[in-house]
Amino acid sequence: MTAIADIPEAPRAARRPQIGNPVLRWLRTNLFSSIPNGILSVVLLAVLAKAIFSFVQWGIANAVWLTPANDSSACRAVRGVGACWAIIPEKYRFILFGTYPFDEQWRPALAVLLFIGLFYLSSRRALWRRELAYLWIGALALISVLMWGGIFGLSFVSQDRWGGLPVTLILATFGLAFGFPLGILVALGRRSKLPAIRSLSVLYVELIRGVPLVSLLFMASVMFPLFMPNGFNIDKLLRAQVAIILFAGAYLAEVIRGGLQAVPRGQYEAADALGLSYWRKNRLIVLPQAIRHVIPPLVNTFIAFFKDTSLVLIIGIFDLLTTAKTAIIDPAWQQFSVEVYIFVAAIYFVFCFAMSRYSRSLEATSGR
Amino acid sequence: MTSDAPRPPPRRRFFGAFGRRELKGLFWQALVVGIAVAVIVFLWSNTVTNLSARRITTGFAFLGREAGMPIADSLLAYNPRDSYLWAFVVGIANTLRVAVIGIVLATILGTVIGISRLSANWLLSRLAAVYVETLRDIPLLLQLLFWYVLMQALPAARAAWRPIEGVFLSNRGLILPAIPIGTPQLWVLGTAMLGLVVCYVIRRRLIAQQMRDGKPRPAWPFVVGLLVVLPAAVSVLLGVAWTIEWPGLRGFNFVGGLTLAPEYFALLIALVTYTSAFIAEIVRSGIQSVPRGQWDAANALGLRRSFMLRQIILPQALRVIVPPMTSQYLNLSKNSSLAVAIGYQDVVSIANTTLNQTGQAIEAIALIMAVFLTISLGISFFMNWYNSRIALVER
């Protein structure tokens, strides 16, 4: 491999005069610091230029951007040489909202905006107070009203017609909202002095972490009816949601446990000395410090989790990825799945990238 | 709790040696265990009733029955008349085939990209950063579907791409030249494996001797002798023929060579590229965790670059790298279960088919769990052993 940037370069840098054109100087230090480095830069530039050129040719120059409704002949004409972005305006309502009644789709759209607002407010450090929990409860209730309807003059929409981005956000957010308290309880249980509670917590965490999410989802979709009394059945989406909550609980518990271990012993002892009960000790003294320690890894778990909700495709729940996959079943548009996947990947990317940037900024400021 | 002036009389203990605290603890445990047991009993009794209503007998007897499902791509010989048990074994082999090769490739690619991110070459480090950021922030399942679609869009067998002579890339997958391995070839390979183990033991001996008297002893004569000369000698003595089987196009399909089916190839690419992005970050942070003073000190001693990396930097970086790497390996093995989405028949996919055919849901899921718990335990065991070997020994 090439030289590693961490190696001290002081003697060489001193020999080199710091004058001349700043652009040339930048090029020299960053791309052509030595002969092998220079060759590498040239090769990389060539490959990059080729890649960008062919992408621009396929994705912009030869692409079809708009076609008359439900007519893919223009797209099929450029197949192989140009992208068919026209499939996005054609199908975006279905990809984003699935089979939600067409005229009512402003409701899931509003729900998505509410989710984004909720995430934004939760990321503001100044708002990390008790009120935030109330805000979450309020917002989630409002979203439920919007999605289901049935009151305030909104027509009722049953959840088997939900689909697309709102379903992805619902699975992720509710998974988090319920998985987080569960994770806290299990993490406390795993560190408890009571052997029965400790071993139950360990069993739960290790069992869930030991198997792939796919098999948990299968279990939720296939085995759940077997577990329940005859005639009792709950909706498929809810079952998947429960599986995701259980899954999230186990992973979040491990992250939170890391935070609990980082709280100094003296804090526990001081709380005991004040005569606080177990729950008050944890609620007032230990957990606030523990969670503060692990916020960056928590955000990373959220990202992983947000991506993992896409696995519900395998059990046939209409999340964003499933609607995308369904949209291209249409024979006229079948050949243009790459374009649809790129569109959906961009949506996932925006959410995950925002979260990962946020996690990094937290890491940078938490040291101070 | 507080120290009142007149001390209260010692509290009478109702239950012999148990204090209030212990009683409380017992109460909570009894409550939680009671709830857990109640839930399990409730679910179990429902399940038993439901199963008997559906005339499904519990137990693993179904494993002996004829599976009747086709498995397109497998390492082991299989035909639909074999038993479910054998179908499961084939599935496990398929899972391991993608997981083991995926782990090796992802480690190599991830290390290369992680080091590239630290490169002094601005362009290379930026490109590596873009790679990591993009792949990490897109769901694996989406990437998998994307690769699979690309595979299917490849030209047909007749018009296959030939990047190098003997290598074909078409919608039938990747076809490579193969070296047929039979019993005589296995003998040679076995000798080489044995040589590897002996090399390892000898190297440890040599290092131990060097620790005692400080004299460096070269290990390469042993390595060459045991890994090259000895297997070559065995090969010549036994008269083993090493032929290369070149694939060729016959009609509409390929004959000979090693075929990586499109499903397998797409799954492998998706798993390797996705996991390598995470491994790259681990490697980067591991190298960055080595204090600058260590680089300075090694430079000041005038050590050669390769020696410095191998003996000073890497051992320290590995301590940071290995524990998170374990969880990436576990993730990769578990993620291989996404195979079911594109129809590669790994153990989860076969369990799913079994479940649909026989209705033995509990047994099928239990088998999946058993397989993955075993894989997880195996990886954890190996990585813990490795970790304890490279861990810092203090005083």
First to last CA, chain B: 43
Question: Nearest residue on chain A to B340, judged by CA atoms?
Answer: A314
Classify B6 as helix, strand or coil: coil
Q: Report the pLDDT value the prediction gives residue B314, as an integer from 0 to 100.
A: 84
Name which of A168-177, B44-53, B82-91 the model is least confident about.
Answer: B44-53
Question: Nearest residue on chain A to B359, judged by CA atoms?
Answer: A222
**Residue A30 C-alpha, separation from nearest chain B C-alpha, in angstroms:** 5
Q: What are phi and psi of B145, to 5 degrees?
A: -60, -40
Say how many C-beta atoms besides its own lie within 10 A of residue B370's C-beta. 13
Q: Are A111 and A159 in contact (CB under 8 A)?
A: no
Q: Are B369 and A207 in contact (CB under 8 A)?
A: yes
Contact criterion met (CB < 8 Å) for A310 and B139: yes
Say how many C-beta atoms besides its own lie within 10 A of residue B84's C-beta. 26
CA distance linking residue A212 with residue B209, whole number of Å: 47
Across the strands, what pairs with B249? B254
Strands (E), A206-253: none
Q: Say if B38 is an interface residue toward chain A (CB within 8 Å).
A: no
pLDDT-derived band at A18, boundaries 50, 70, 90 = low
Q: Say if B289 is an interface residue toward chain A (CB within 8 Å).
A: no
> CA–CA distance from B30 to each of A196, A204, A205, B18, B35 (Å)?
8, 17, 20, 15, 8
pLDDT-derived band at B395, boundaries 50, 70, 90 = low
Contact criterion met (CB < 8 Å) for A345 and B138: yes
pTM attached to this predicted model? 0.83
Nearest-by-Cβ selection for A197 from B29, B116, B133: B29
* Residue labelled with tokens 């004058």: A19
Task: Please list, in sequence order, all residues whose beta carbon lies within 8 angstroms of the beta carbon of residue A234, skipping any fewer than 6 positions away.
Answer: A224, A228
Eight-state DSSP code of residue B13: P
Q: Report the pLDDT value the prediction gives residue B131, as an integer from 0 to 100.
A: 93
Q: Is the pLDDT of residue B390 over 80?
A: no
Contact criterion met (CB < 8 Å) for A226 and B28: no
Say how many C-beta atoms besides its own lie within 10 A of residue B179's C-beta. 10
Q: Give the relative orientation of helices A165-190 and A130-148 as an angle to the nearest 10 degrees.
A: 140
Eight-state DSSP code of residue B179: -
- At B219, list the tokens: 């290990």
Contact criterion met (CB < 8 Å) for B292 and A6: yes
First to last CA, chain A: 35
Question: Nearest residue on chain A to B113, judged by CA atoms?
Answer: A1
Q: Report the pLDDT value the prediction gives residue B8, as an integer from 0 to 100.
A: 58
Q: Report the pLDDT value the prediction gives residue B7, as an integer from 0 to 100.
A: 59
CA distance linking residue B97 with residue B258, whole number of Å: 14
The full length of chain A comes to 368
ipTM value > 0.90:
no
CA distance linking residue A207 with residue B256, whole number of Å: 43
What tens digit of pLDDT does each residue of B91-133 get? Answer: 899 899 899 999 999 999 999 999 888 887 888 889 999 999 8
CA distance linking residue B134 with residue A94, whole number of Å: 25
Identify from B28, B141, B362 which residue to disrupt to test chain A contact, counting A C-beta atoms within 10 A and taking the largest count. B141
Q: Are A318 and A304 in contact (CB under 8 A)?
A: no
CA distance linking residue B165 with residue B176, whole number of Å: 10
Q: Report the pLDDT value the prediction gives residue B279, as an integer from 0 to 100.
A: 93
Contact criterion met (CB < 8 Å) for B32 and A313: no
Identify from B35, B142, B330, B342 which residue to disrupt to test chain A contact, counting A C-beta atoms within 10 A and taking the largest count. B142
A310 interaction partners in chain B (CB closer than 8 Å):
139, 141-142
Q: Report the pLDDT value the prediction gives residue A16, as an integer from 0 to 100.
A: 54
Contact criterion met (CB < 8 Å) for B292 and A200: no
Contact criterion met (CB < 8 Å) for B112 and A303: no
Name which of A70-74, A133-137, B198-202, B377-381 the model is least confident about.
Answer: A70-74
CA distance linking residue A64 with residue A87, whole number of Å: 9
Q: Tell me what percent of the residues of chain B surpass a pLDDT of 90.
A: 13
Q: Say if B303 is an interface residue toward chain A (CB within 8 Å).
A: no
- The amino acid present at A56, given as its one-letter code, is V
Exposed / middle / buried, residue A169 (Cβ in 10 Å: 0-12, 13-18, 19+) = buried
CA distance linking residue A254 with residue A190, whole number of Å: 9
